[in-house]
Amino acid sequence: MSDRLTVFKTYKLYVGGKFPRSESGRVYEVTDSKGKWLANAPLSSRKDARDAVVAARKAFGAWSGATAYNRGQVLYRVAEMLEGRRDQFTREVADAEGLSKSKAAAVVDATIDRWVWYAGWTDKIAQVVGGGNPVAGPFFNLSSPEPTGVVAVLAPQESSFLGLVSVLAPVIATGNTAVVVASEKAPLPALSLAEVLATSDVPGGVVNVLSGRTAEIAAPLAAHQDVNAIDLAGADEVLAKDLEIAAADNLKRVLRPQPVDYTETPGTDRLTAFLETKTVWHPTGSLGASGSSY
């Protein structure tokens, strides 16, 4: 009896909750760390990037308007689904990063725990970074954080899964929507993550995943007038500078690349980098309850 022939998987993009092939019809070869062919991944075009921005913008109103509690539940659901696919991701991470099975499993565990960590942040960040201000006058004013909008995320090149989740989860936890450019060399965990997002409760368009040449996809995203912010984690120094210049055209918020140890528990930097602060004033007519005679 001959060995069973395995069924290959056709990896696709994830845009607006659907799994299209690249508009360009192009693919590129993804290999494991030893150069063995793993799959053909879509080689996204400028048009795919624009479509992804449209989808992300469309999803922004409902996602940013959802309650923080609801967003937390949805993110936690992602962690649940990841746990169920732990073996698949372990295999993919092992192939992508050339790790032993046990090391890859540790990375996947850390990644799932990272989702859980960010899931818990959705309804706390406003309390940590917002608040009431003691204005010197008969006014009540409140500063609260709000998502900045559509965020382009260049996922880290070397950490195909833990790094990816570490930059993506904070963006959507705070109510932004994201267009993610997967690691150029190791895109498969990102494309599989899209399948998890699609089958958890994350609304279509909240996360859009593109694979291909980082520089090629990032250029139109950095210049796009309807993108509000860009995380340059996956860009090298030269590319990052070019993208930052392009991003100045509509004053995108830019998170510059910096050395990050993704195994460490993150701080709140990536949460606050894509938040605006809105301060709302209202007259009170008095200076507060302490004036009461009771």
Partner 1 sequence: MAPVFEYAPAPESRAIADIAPSYGLFIDGEFVEAADGKVFKTVSPSTEEVLSEIARAGSEDVDRAVKAARRAFEKWSALPGAERAKYLFRIARIIQERSRELAVLETLDNGKPIKETRDADLPLVAAHFFYYAGWADKLDHAGYGANPRPLGVAGQVIPWNFPLLMLAWKIAPALATGNTVVLKPAETTPLSALFFADICRQAGLPKGVVNILPGYGDAGAALIAHPDVNKVAFTGSTAVGKEIARTVAGTRKKVTLELGGKGANIVFDDAPIDQAVEGIVNGIFFNQGQVCCAGSRLLVQESIQEELLESLKRRLSTLRLGDPLDKNTDIGAINSEEQLTRITSLVEQGEAEGAERWSPACELPESGYWFAPTLFTNVTQAHTVARDEIFGPVLSVLTFRTPDEAVAKANNTPYGLSAGIWTEKGSRILAVANKLRAGVVWSNTFNKFDPTSPFGGYKESGFGREGGRHGLEAYLDV
Binding site for partner 1 (CB under 8 A): 128-129, 131, 133-137, 139, 141, 143, 148, 228, 237, 240-241, 244-245, 247-251, 253, 256, 267, 269, 276-283
CB of 291 vs partner 1, minimal distance in Å = 19
- If the CB atoms of residues 128 and 201 are measured against partner 1, the closer one turns out to be 128
Residue 160 vs 228, nearer CB to partner 1: 228
Closer Cβ to partner 1, 29 or 276, answer by number: 276
Q: By C-beta, is 21 or 256 nearer to partner 1?
A: 256
User: Which CB sits closer to partner 1, 166 or 228?
Assistant: 228
Q: Is the dihedral of CA 168, 43, 58, 196 positive or negative?
A: negative
The values of phi and psi at residue 192, to 5°, are: -75, -35
Show the CA angle centred on residue 183, arms to residues 123 and 169, nearest 5°.
5
Residue 80 CB, nearest approach to partner 1 (Å): 30
Residue 259: phi, psi to the nearest 5?
Answer: -65, 125
Nearest approach in angstroms of CB 269 to partner 1 is 8
Residue whose C-alpha is closest to residue 249's, from 224, 286, 278, 213? 224
Say which DSSP state 112 is in: H
Give the DSSP H or E segment for 146: strand 139-147
Nearest distance from residue 13's CB to partner 1, in Å? 28
Among the listed residues 8, 58, 15, 6, the one whose alpha carbon sits nearest the alpha carbon of residue 191: 15
Report in angstroms how near the CB of residue 24 gets to partner 1 at its nearest: 29
Closest CA to 155 of 144, 166, 147: 166
